[in-house]
């Protein structure tokens, strides 16, 4: 099978009707911080137990088309010795892998960041493929201040995302391209829209320069939201939906098959309501509008589990509920009544 055929086959699986992607790719420091927040000791054993809880949830295969894993998880196995990527694969869920190496300050662009990890990426991807990964994820972040992101920051981050995507496709791996305009700050929704517009414009110009096959990629952007310290508070779902779709329609070619939003600090129900509003507003959008959430799917699950084996069944019920709510939102069918049912 050619690389292009592989890419298209993976995209077909990822875009299965009513499904989305779980981001379970927290690095060890990140998941340790989240575990500590709910009183769970972070060890290889507890991290394995938690990710098995998610992978084995009864309805995961009904609502998840893919799961983004971290390197540690890619190498772990269940109690029967089955590698975790295989556990997912056997349920019809595509395993993916986070491949970036985190951010560092961008020289001569005070306040902006750039993501590391391009060196040796092709070789790493070849190894991840042997372990079962069929797609990858790379995140660039854009803080909003009065001067950020700078023009240099926008261009440099776009170039890195495009280089990553091209390397992935050369290995037959679908790239998730994740440019995240951060929610941190007191900026307005309009300011977020302005920055997101500039970021996506630069990203797709870079993808074009690097001859990335748009039909063989996933876009994972932020929604257009006011900052989490904005004096005017949160925006209504209809407002978020219109602002986000306006920016997407100006910048994202119809050849891109799917847009799987990050939750980016939104509360679980908030992320669901905003996704639902987009699918109601644009039921015939040129792209699938779905989810690739981490905290918006996991926070209530982690709290319910609390590292206690006796809580697994209850935590999985909560996880399945959040998955079903976002599946409904992907179809524009979520309601508050369904949420409470």
Catalytic residues: 178, 220
Continuous segment of H or E residues that includes residue 113: strand 113-115
Alpha carbons 204 and 199: distance in angstroms, whole number: 9
- In angstroms, the CA 179 to CA 114 distance is 11
Nearest to 139 by CA among 184, 196, 97, 179: 179
Helices (H), 69-188: 71-74, 84-90, 121-130, 151-170
How far is Cα 266 from Cα 243, in angstroms, rounded to an integer? Answer: 16
The single-letter DSSP state of residue 221 is: P
Give the number of other CB atoms < 10 A from CB of residue 50: 25
Q: Distance between CA 162 and CA 164 in Å, rounded?
A: 5
Whether residue 43 has a cis bond before it, omega within 30° of 0: no
Which secondary-structure segment (H or E) carries 326? helix 312-330
CA distances from 154 to 46, 61, 108, 159, 170 (A): 38, 37, 13, 9, 25
In the chain, what is the greatest distance between 2 CA atoms, to the nearest angstrom?
Answer: 54
Cα separation, 323 vs 19, whole angstroms = 9
Say if residues 145 and 111 touch (Cβ distance below 8 Å): yes
Indicate left, alpha or beta for 321 from its phi (over 0: left) and psi (-120 to 50: alpha): alpha
* Phi, psi values for residue 323, rounded to 5°: -65, -45
């Amino acid at each position: 099978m050619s690389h292009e055929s592989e890419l298209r086959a993976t995209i077909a699986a990822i875009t299965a009707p009513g499904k989305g992607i779980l981001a379970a790719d927290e690095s060890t420091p990140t998941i340790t911080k989240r575990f500590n927040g709910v009183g769970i000791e972070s060890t290889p054993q507890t991290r394995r137990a938690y990710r098995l809880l998610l992978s084995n949830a009864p309805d995961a295969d009904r609502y998840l088309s893919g799961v983004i894993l971290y390197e540690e998880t890619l190498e772990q196995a269940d109690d029967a010795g089955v590698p975790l990527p295989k556990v997912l694969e056997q349920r019809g869920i595509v395993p993916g892998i986070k491949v970036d190496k985190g951010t560092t300050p961008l020289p001569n662009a005070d306040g902006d960041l750039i993501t590391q990890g391009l060196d040796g990426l092709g070789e790493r991807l070849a190894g991840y493929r042997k372990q079962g990964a069929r797609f990858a994820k790379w995140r660039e972040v854009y803080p909003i201040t009065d001067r950020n992101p700078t023009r240099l920051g926008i261009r440099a981050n776009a170039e890195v995302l495009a280089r990553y995507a091209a390397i992935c496709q050369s290995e037959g791996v679908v790239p998730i391209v994740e440019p995240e305009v951060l929610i941190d700050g007191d900026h307005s929704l309009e300011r977020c829209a302005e920055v997101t517009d500039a970021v996506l414009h630069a990203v797709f110009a870079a993808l074009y320069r690097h001859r990335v096959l748009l039909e063989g990629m996933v876009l994972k952007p932020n929604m257009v939201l006011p900052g989490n310290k904005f004096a005017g508070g949160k925006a209504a779902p209809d407002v978020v939906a219109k602002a986000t779709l306006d920016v997407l329609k100006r910048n994202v070619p119809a050849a891109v098959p799917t847009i799987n939003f990050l939750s980016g600090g939104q509360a679980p129900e908030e992320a669901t309501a905003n996704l639902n509003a987009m699918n109601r507003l644009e039921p015939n959008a040129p792209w699938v509008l779905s989810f690739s959430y981490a905290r918006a799917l996991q926070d209530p699950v982690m709290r319910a589990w609390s590292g206690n084996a006796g809580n697994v069944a209850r935590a999985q019920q909560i996880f399945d509920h959040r998955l079903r709510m976002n599946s409904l939102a992907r179809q524009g069918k979520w309601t508050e009544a369904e949420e409470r049912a």
